[in-house]
Structure 1
Amino acid sequence: LSVPDAFLKYDLYTCVFTSSELPDIEFIYSMYFNKIEVMRFNSTAGKWVGYDEFGIYNAERLNNDPAEMAVRRAQKETFCKYNIEIRYRAALDKTAEPSVRLTSVTPPSGRHPAMLMCSVYNFYPKYISVTWLRDGQPVTSDVTSTDELANGDWYYQIHSYLEYTTRSGEKITCMVEHASFPSPKKVDWNPSMSQSDRNKIATGASGLLLGLILSLAGLIYYKRKARGRVLVPTS
């Protein structure tokens, strides 16, 4: 193809599948000439179909060739099923169990005084369901969610938000359903202490501990210096 007016012919093999079982697989063999598809074999239809004069002529010729048709119909199993099973073993049937974190955040609007964020991290495959429950009942209003966000390393994350008005004694739950879980995972919100309050307490405790360490170090240094002093009488 070193000349500018050269013709280009190429074939494209495609396997469309929802599982590795034969009934869930479709084999498609397309022939292209100068970027235009001229004819196609589809395992669902079980025959060739042409799209222009050249393709229609050759599709009819191939459909009347028993040896050709036997080869194409077998490729659903010999080509597609074989390669699909390899990919399932390598990656498609792998799962990574997500971590779930429930935190309190500031509501963006004044409709409700409180908002919770359910963050789900590092899961695979992509498909996941995140729902909210209040006292065991599904919540559908005042709920927003991001799409599944790709981390760039095969893993995904998603964040779901619930705006609400607090009711005394109620239980709010974030429920996550994923292929890696044998059953839905439920995380209950504990309103006794928000995440920001926990962070403040942790920061304060760290500061207090550091202060005690420095004070103790100063006291030890002072006592050591005091032992080494020599008292000189004055007249």
Structure 2
Amino acid sequence: MASSFLSFSLLFITVYTADGFMEYVEFRCEFNSTELKDIRLIYSHYYNKLEYIRFDSVVDRFVGYTEYGVKNAERWNNDPSELTRRRGDRERACHNNVGVWYNNVLSKSVKPYVVLHSVASSSGNHPSMLVCSVYDFYPKQIRVTWLRDGQEVSSDVTSTDEMADADWYYQIHSHLEYTPRSGEKISCMVEHASLQEPLVTDWDPSLPESERNKIAIGASGLILGLILSLAGFIYYKRKSQGRILVPSN
């Protein structure tokens, strides 16, 4: 699996007035390892949500984005003590904290769960389509493949990208268009860092429980209706047989 990439920010509000004007400073640390050389510091000043000056450790100097920011960038870039202070922030604000993130986030993994179901195919050449939906896994890197009688299927397969759920977890969906054959075995195989061995889910062509419940409810309703109809018919016949006909004059 490829190394992961993270960033975190430290926010410091410096000025806030009743009129709604706000200036604040943000430290942003971007990293893909705990080594200092792999850490990038972005130190920014904002006024009313507008970034007007930034120190980027990759550029190693201040850059201004407004007239006021350009003036301050020129002044601070000519101040060796200010540049030294910001270069040191990369170690103080970033390097001293990335270990916590690695231990609590990047070293963790969450096992996925798989839902295998069928949908109507959009192609006339394949009467059936299976969807292998993989949910709630971390980290992002994952491999989803289809097996047909134990052999990997490479054709008629389409997959989405890994989609973020905005809660650190991801999901992915793989589609297989196929023509059913008698006795064949179709499976979805998932490989992920959280799994000691591939997770293989076999396709069961029998109706899912929800569909079986619908059929059972419908059949029960039909039987109940027949029973009520029969009871009504018997009651009607008995009433008809017990009725006394009085001849008219």
Same topology, TM > 0.5: yes
Equivalent AA in structure 1 for residue 120 of structure 2: P
- State yes or no: 1:86 paired with 2:97: no
TM superposition shift of 1:45: 0.9
Q: Is the 8 A contact 1:117 1:162 kept in 2?
A: yes
- The secondary structure found in structure 1 opposite 2:30 is strand
TM superposition shift of 1:157: 4.2
Spell out the pairing of 1:134-153 with structure 2 (5 A cutoff). 134=148, 136-145=151-160, 148=163, 150=165
Partner of 1:217: none
Partner of 1:57: 71
Equivalent AA in structure 1 for residue 40 of structure 2: E
TM superposition shift of 1:154: 5.2
TM superposition shift of 1:178: 1.8
Q: Is the 8 A contact 1:146 1:160 kept in 2?
A: no
TM superposition shift of 1:133: 4.0
Q: Is the 8 A contact 1:123 1:156 kept in 2?
A: yes
- The secondary structure found in structure 2 opposite 1:16 is strand
| Cα deviation code 1:41-78 (max 9, x no counterpart) | 00001111223343233223222322222221122222
TM-score, normalization: structure 2?
A: 0.62
Equivalent AA in structure 2 for residue 196 of structure 1: L
- The secondary structure found in structure 2 opposite 1:196 is coil
- State yes or no: 1:113 paired with 2:113: no
- Could you tell me which runs of 5 or more consecutive residues in structure 2 were left unpaired when the two chains were aligned: 1-15, 217-249
| Cα deviation code 1:64-93 (max 9, x no counterpart) | 322222221122222112223222222332
Equivalent AA in structure 1 for residue 61 of structure 2: K
Q: What RMSD over aligned residues (CA atoms) do the two structures have, in Å?
A: 3.4
Partner of 1:32: 46
Go from structure 1 to structure 2 and tell me whether the alpha carbon gap of 1:195 and 1:88 turns closer, same or farther (over 3 Å shift).
Answer: farther
Question: For residues 180 and 127 of structure 1, what CA distance do their matches in structure 2 show?
Answer: 10
Question: For residues 72 and 11 of structure 1, what CA distance do their matches in structure 2 show?
Answer: 13
Question: For residues 153 and 61 of structure 1, what CA distance do their matches in structure 2 show?
Answer: 42
Partner of 1:196: 207
Question: For residues 171 and 97 of structure 1, what CA distance do their matches in structure 2 show?
Answer: 24
Spell out the pairing of 1:1-235 with structure 2 (5 A cutoff). 1-4=16-19, 7-103=21-117, 105-109=118-122, 110-134=124-148, 136-145=151-160, 148=163, 150=165, 155-167=169-181, 172-182=186-196, 184-189=198-203, 194-196=205-207
Go from structure 1 to structure 2 and tell me whether the alpha carbon gap of 1:197 and 1:168 turns closer, same or farther (over 3 Å shift).
Answer: same
TM superposition shift of 1:95: 0.7
Question: For residues 65 and 161 of structure 2, what CA distance do their matches in structure 1 show?
Answer: 43
- The secondary structure found in structure 1 opposite 2:110 is coil
* Identical aligned residues as a percent: 47
In the alignment of these two chains, the number of paired residues is 196
- Could you tell me which runs of 5 or more consecutive residues in structure 1 were left unpaired when the two chains were aligned: 205-235
Equivalent AA in structure 1 for residue 73 of structure 2: A
Question: For residues 50 and 135 of structure 2, what CA distance do their matches in structure 1 show?
Answer: 44
TM superposition shift of 1:165: 1.5
- The secondary structure found in structure 2 opposite 1:88 is helix
TM superposition shift of 1:40: 1.0
Q: Is the 8 A contact 1:142 1:164 kept in 2?
A: no
Q: Is the 8 A contact 1:149 1:158 kept in 2?
A: no
